[in-house]
Amino acid sequence: MDPSTRPPLYRVKKIKKYYGTGPSLFHPHARILRAVDEVDLAIYPHETVGLVGESGCGKSTLARLMMHLEPVSGGTMEYLGRDITRITDRDLFLFRRQVQMIFQDAWASLNPRQRIGDMIREPLENYRLTGKKLLSARVEELLELVGLEKAHLSRYPHELSGGERQRVTIARALAVEPRILICDEATANLDVSIQAQMVNLLITLQQRLGLSYLFISHDLALVKHLSDRIAVMYLGKIVEMLDSSALVERARHPYTQSLLAAVLPIAGEEPLRSLPVLKGEAFYDAAAAQGCGFCPRCSQAGDLCWKMTPRLWEMEAGHFVACHLIQA
């Protein structure tokens, strides 16, 4: 079913986050860093949106904005059609029952002095979701849901493996019965075999609980496997968005094609030998601030690319690209 035919759960429109940087030895003039720059993104019921890009492209900043962990510099955020860009503490408390986040570093997001059972019990008590007599049973149910055992209740984070700690963070997030989970590099710190288990767990939970995911990763192959739609982010902007099933054959933006060249062949796909391999690293170039941010690394960039920022336009149904070369 086309997601655009349904109202979104969560939508951000032209959302921005700018940071001011003062003068320094190498940059004598104050600058503005556009960490997130006019991003449009929607999450629909029961779907997974993958957000992919290199480190430093603004993926985690966007996630923090969507969780209200940082204030936005501009744009609007809507949950169930309601504007939540500016929100009261009371409404924020209620909003975070609906939208939860899984962080990359499970160790840093767990209290080292708190037992696992107490961590999962705490949100149940804060939101008064379960009566006191049923609290213990509900905590055990949540542990079982993520593949842990009753014996883990009395343990501390340092007594668990990395994969077990991440399962605890998922159980704690699920305690408030959210509709959306924002997973920020949730599998990045895990061994490959544990990553596969975690991905399978997320798929199972989505099917069982009807969750929606925003799955953030630099691993394009993993994002393709897990997602319904994929948004590609570069230096604060969405440069391409399309169905994951069309990624390999239909990706048109030079940056997306370069990412594909770095990871192909994806399982079941034929290698595309003609794709250019990306060189260098993502960096903010003041010279390209008025044009396309990918210009300094794009072998096809023309004069227009340096002078004007390309808009994100729909080149075909459900496929959006921000590139002058495609629009020409």
Looking at the structure of the chain, the number of domains it has is 1
Share of the chain above pLDDT 70, in %: 88
Among 257, 239, 247, CA closest to 40 = 239
Look at residue 204 and tell me whether its pLDDT is greater than 70. Answer: yes
What are the C-alpha distances in Å from 218 to residues 56, 90, 109?
Answer: 10, 35, 21
d(CA 310, CA 313): 9
Helix (H) / strand (E) containing 99: strand 99-102
3-state secondary structure 46-76: CCEEEEECCCCCCHHHHHHHHCCCCCCCEEE
What pLDDT score was predicted for residue 241?
A: 98
Question: Which of the two residues, 317 and 272, has the higher pLDDT score?
Answer: 317
DSSP secondary structure string for all residues of 158-191: GGS-HHHHHHHHHHHHHTT--SEEEEESTTTTS-
What pLDDT score was predicted for residue 263?
A: 76
What are the C-alpha distances in Å from 231 to residues 40, 46, 100, 241?
Answer: 10, 17, 20, 4
User: What are φ and ψ of residue 214, in 5° steps?
Assistant: -110, 110
Distance of CA 314 to the CA centre of its chain: 22
Question: Tens of pLDDT along 182-194?
Answer: 999 998 888 888 8
Look at residue 245 and tell me whether its pLDDT is greater than 60. Answer: yes
The token pair at 170 is 């998922």
d(CA 31, CA 114): 43
Question: Which of the two residues, 280 and 271, has the higher pLDDT score?
Answer: 280
What pLDDT score was predicted for residue 3?
A: 58
Q: What is the CATH number of the domain that holds 259?
A: 3.40.50.300
How many other C-beta atoms lie within 10 A of the C-beta of residue 186?
26
Domain containing 195: what range? 3-327
Q: Average pLDDT for residues 182-211, to the nearest whole number?
A: 92
Distance of CA 145 to the CA centre of its chain: 23
Per the DSSP assignment, residues forming a β-bridge with 320 are: 241, 314
Among 80, 8, 88, 86, CA closest to 40 = 8
Q: Average pLDDT for residues 49-56, to the nearest whole number?
A: 93
pLDDT interval class at 1 (50, 70, 90): very low
Look at residue 273 and tell me whether its pLDDT is greater than 60. Answer: no
What are the C-alpha distances in Å from 302 to residues 258, 282, 298, 324?
Answer: 18, 19, 9, 9
pLDDT interval class at 290 (50, 70, 90): confident
Question: Tens of pLDDT along 276-289?
Answer: 666 666 666 554 56
Q: Average pLDDT for residues 290-312, to the nearest whole number?
A: 89
Share of the chain above pLDDT 90, in %: 69
Average pLDDT of the chain, as a whole number: 89
pLDDT interval class at 262 (50, 70, 90): confident
Least confident of 3-7, 145-149, 161-165: 3-7
- pTM assigned to the model: 0.90
Question: Tens of pLDDT along 37-47?
Answer: 999 999 999 99
Q: Most distant CA pair in the chain: distance in Å? A: 69
HSE (CB half, 13 Å, CA atoms) of 268? 7
Look at residue 275 and tell me whether its pLDDT is greater than 90. Answer: no
Rounded-to-5 percentages of helix, strand, coil across the chain: 40, 20, 40
